[in-house]
Amino acid sequence: MATHSAESRSRGAFILLEGCDRTGKSTQAAKLVERLQTLGHSTKLWKFPDRTTRIGQMIDGYLAKGEDLNDHAVHLLFSANRWEAVEAMEKHLSAGTTLVVDRYAYSGVAFSAAKGLDLEWCKHPDRGLLRPDLTLFLDMPIEESMKRGGFGEERYEKLTIQTKVRELFLQLREPTWVMVDATQSIESIHKELVHQSEKAITRVRDQPLQHDLWLS
């Protein structure tokens, strides 16, 4: 006879927002969390890099304060910053909370490979991380995102790098990705993200968590 245990309770969805810089990910992630909560889904906002941890502070020094680090070393720090969050993410998802995550390993690979690091080498440290259930890729021409406020403040916010990053993102595209036209109004994008997210929440409810990023 089937018994109901804590393990059989439905899990939350791992919803990822990816894209180049200044494409509206953080704005949309915040709005999405708020809306999903209103719709009755337990939902939490997550963000990479998480600059609040010790590893995250080293990353922030590199990105925002002009501190130099070896390209390979900083790549591993970004990955370590995801690994140090894995237990907490898993705990929330298993308890039924949906996570809306602002950037993840795809950013990790795209930005490092854009600097010239080997793509396969870049993927390796993130192998075995949780796999997102849905990746919403906010896409727009780089020329457009460059016009947005704040562009150029941090390392990597340059036309040539962003163009390469976008190409690499497209190479990393997987079947669970949904491409979103980020030049639309904030409200239209929001509606599309809510629609896709609700479908994903329902779809994965009874599926086990997947710890197989880039393993298959």
Residue 185, token pair as written in the block: 């109004």
Residue 93, token pair as written in the block: 């998802």
- Give the helix, strand, coil percentages of the chain, each rounded to 5: 50, 10, 40
156 binds, among Mg ion, ligand NYM, none (CB under 5 to 8 A by kind): ligand NYM
Residue 78 CB, shortest distance to ligand NYM, in Å, is 3
Instruction: Return d(Cα 192, Cα 134) in angstroms, integer.
Output: 13
Site for ligand NYM in 87-106 (CB under 6 A): 103
Is residue 108 at the binding interface for ligand NYM, with CB under 6 A as the rule? yes
Q: Which residues contact 28 (CB under 8 A, 6 or more apart)?
A: 17, 136, 138, 186, 189, 190, 193
The footprint of ligand NYM on this chain (CB under 6 A) covers a number of residues equal to 11
User: Do 29 and 45 form a contact (C-beta atoms < 8 A)?
Assistant: yes
Is residue 48 at the binding interface for ligand NYM, with CB under 6 A as the rule? yes
Task: Give the residue with the Cβ less far from Mg ion, 21 or 139.
Answer: 21
Q: Which of 156, 194, 198, 214 binds ligand NYM (CB under 6 A)?
A: 156
108 binds, among Mg ion, ligand NYM, none (CB under 5 to 8 A by kind): ligand NYM
Task: Give the residue with the Cβ less far from Mg ion, 12 or 24.
Answer: 24
Instruction: Return d(Cα 85, Cα 60) in angstroms, integer.
Output: 17
Between the alpha carbon of residue 4 and those of residues 80, 91, 118, 202, 203, the distances in Å are 36, 19, 47, 19, 20
49 binds, among Mg ion, ligand NYM, none (CB under 5 to 8 A by kind): ligand NYM
Task: Give the residue with the Cβ less far from ligand NYM, 63 or 93.
Answer: 63
84 binds, among Mg ion, ligand NYM, none (CB under 5 to 8 A by kind): none
Residues forming contacts to ligand NYM in the complex (CB under 6 A) are 21, 48-49, 63, 78, 103, 107-108, 111, 154, 156
